[in-house]
Amino acid sequence: MDTGADAGRGAGARHERAAAPAAGAGAARAYDVVLFGATGFVGELTAEYLAAHAPAECRWALAGRNRAGLTALRERLAARWPHCAELPLVVADAADPGSLRELARSARVVATTVGPYVWYGDGLVGACAEAGTDYVDLTGEAEFVDLTYVRHDARARETGARIVHACGFDSVPHDLGVYFTVQQLPADVPLRVDGFVRAGAQFSGGTFASALTAFGRGREILRAAHERRLHEPRLVGRRARAPLGGPRFSRETGTWALPLPTLDPQVVARSAAAIDRYGPDFRYRHYASVKTLPMALGGTAAIGAGVTAAQLPPVRAWLMERYQAGQGPSAERRARSWFSVRFVGEGGGRRVFTEVSGGDPGYDETAKMLAESALSLAFDPLPKTSGQVTTAAAMGDALIDRLRAAGIRFRVAHRG
Ligand SMILES: NC(=O)c1ccc[n+]([C@@H]2O[C@H](COP(=O)([O-])OP(=O)(O)OC[C@H]3O[C@@H](n4cnc5c(N)ncnc54)[C@H](OP(=O)(O)O)[C@@H]3O)[C@@H](O)[C@H]2O)c1
């Protein structure tokens, strides 16, 4: 199985941004950034991050389906950051296309935490593609990313909208970590990179709902990937692949490596297809890194049990009820959480070991990554891209600089 297959044209990152964006795009917009889903668990953390870190000139707004919830959130923010007392509120519902059109037309960048995205996300992507509005989200759902590619990529290219999925722990540390690793290796030669993920953390109701939803949609995921392959032009003259590796003991990290068929390796392969610096023949393999064999076997069994349970609707419904939307780990638990992704890159006779690491991956760092991605699209001088683009292709160095300044570490551990 090949998680990314040969990546297609690579999200169009080398394509010029359209010269004539849709009517109303750009400076005429009321807001630089609108945060949709602000009342959810990660939504509120992202709002707090923007309250603390958005530059003074940033015109931003809170959006959601429930005005009372937005008002209460604004009061909580204003108690800590008085300048938030007048934050604009935008009411929109994922089930109301008119409200999504207005939301997309009001902003230069929309950041959304409204998931599971395969249920709630498509309308907003379509509205942003139509309005020429840049878009960032937290999806880790391959089916959703493939469907929005098929439905909205072409229109987004026409209007100049940058549709950047997976701006949280899925897939920022992996996509930018590989981008960073590639830059430590020689140019114009075949490159091989392996990534090894470790984390100590808990998840929220929203993440649990998204994961269970994806586990129960195997057929739909395959169908969406097939549709995408039919639409996406092949990459010509270069190769960019993310095959699923086998389980193995990794001498490089001294841990057991279990293949991770998440969205991340697909995103990495799309970045490699979009960016010439990844070389003529690029291969990435993505692993979970586990210290002992019993832990590796236990982890595999637990994931297998989760996937099996998710096939049975009553079990899925029972599990969903146990983890309510809007709930997640406490601030104390998050403060003890961490992640580390180690990369081993090889090519042209050189070898490099790099690492991306930080605090609580699913929530504090995810909120930071989403907010900084939105600010980067709004304010940084970036390569000209449009359509569905990855974080590396759309923002690359600018986002690494932002995340480093915000405390996420990107480092070369050693060269071999
Ligand atoms: N990429 C990553 O690493 C990562 C990490 C964490 C989370 N996530 C993903 O991010 C998403 C949010 O997670 P979470 O824990 O914050 O979930 P959550 O607390 O359940 O929040 C979901 C948000 O969606 C809103 N919503 C639901 N239906 C809506 C509709 N019809 N119209 C408008 N808004 C609607 C909710 O509004 P109300 O407040 O009004 O109910 C809430 O604001 C999930 O899909 C999760 O998988 C990804």
Pocket test for ligand 1, best of 49, 65, 320 (most atoms within 8 A of CB): 65
Between the CA of 37 and the centroid of ligand 1 the distance, in Å, is 6
Atom of ligand 1 nearest to the CA of 139: 1
Neighbours of 18 (CB within 10 A): 18
Q: In the predicted model, what is the mean pLDDT of residues 66-83? A: 98
* Nearest CA-CA partner of 153 in 309, 321, 10, 268: 10
Query: Can you give the pLDDT at residue 216?
Result: 78
Q: What is the DSSP letter of 14?
A: T
Report the Cα 338 to chain-centroid distance in Å.
18
Q: In the predicted model, what is the mean pLDDT of residues 232-261? A: 92
pLDDT band at 291 (very low <50, low <70, confident <90, very high): confident
- Average pLDDT of every residue of the chain: 89
Residue 373's identity, in one-letter code, is: S
Query: Can you give the pLDDT at residue 307?
Result: 65
Poorest-confidence range of 65-69, 136-140, 360-364?
Answer: 360-364
Atom of ligand 1 nearest to the CA of 65: 33
Q: In this predicted model, which residue has the larger pLDDT, 308 or 274?
A: 274
Between the CA of 116 and the centroid of ligand 1 the distance, in Å, is 7
Report whether 90 contacts 103 (CB < 8 A).
yes
pLDDT of residue 4 exceeding 50, the answer is no
Q: In this predicted model, which residue has the larger pLDDT, 190 or 337?
A: 190
pLDDT in tens, 95-144: 999 999 999 999 999 999 999 999 999 999 999 999 999 999 999 999 99
| Host H or E run for residue 202 | none
From the CB of 170, is ligand 1 less than 6 Å away? yes
| Bridge partners for 89 per DSSP | 62
From the CB of 395, is ligand 1 less than 6 Å away? no
pLDDT band at 18 (very low <50, low <70, confident <90, very high): very low
Between the CA of 277 and the centroid of ligand 1 the distance, in Å, is 35
From the CB of 205, is ligand 1 less than 6 Å away? yes
Query: Crossing angle for the helix pair 41-53 and 205-215, nearest 10 degrees?
Result: 130
Report the chain's C-alpha Rg in angstroms. 20
From the CB of 362, is ligand 1 less than 6 Å away? yes
From the CB of 146, is ligand 1 less than 6 Å away? no
| Bridge partners for 112 per DSSP | 36, 137
Atom of ligand 1 nearest to the CA of 211: 47
Listed in sequence order, the residues at least 6 apart from 242 whose beta carbon sits closer than 8 Å to its beta carbon are 2, 3, 4, 7, 265, 266, 268, 269, 283, 284, 285, 286
Report whether 159 contacts 129 (CB < 8 A).
yes
Length of the chain: 416
- Give percent of the chain with pLDDT exceeding 70: 84
Q: In the predicted model, what is the mean pLDDT of residues 376-392? A: 98
pLDDT band at 320 (very low <50, low <70, confident <90, very high): low
From the CB of 39, is ligand 1 less than 6 Å away? yes
* Nearest CA-CA partner of 32 in 129, 136, 159, 145: 136
Between the CA of 358 and the centroid of ligand 1 the distance, in Å, is 23
Quote the CA–CA distance of 125 and 150 in Å, as a whole number.
Answer: 12
Q: In the predicted model, what is the mean pLDDT of residues 198-207? A: 72
Closest CA to ligand 1's atom 5? 362
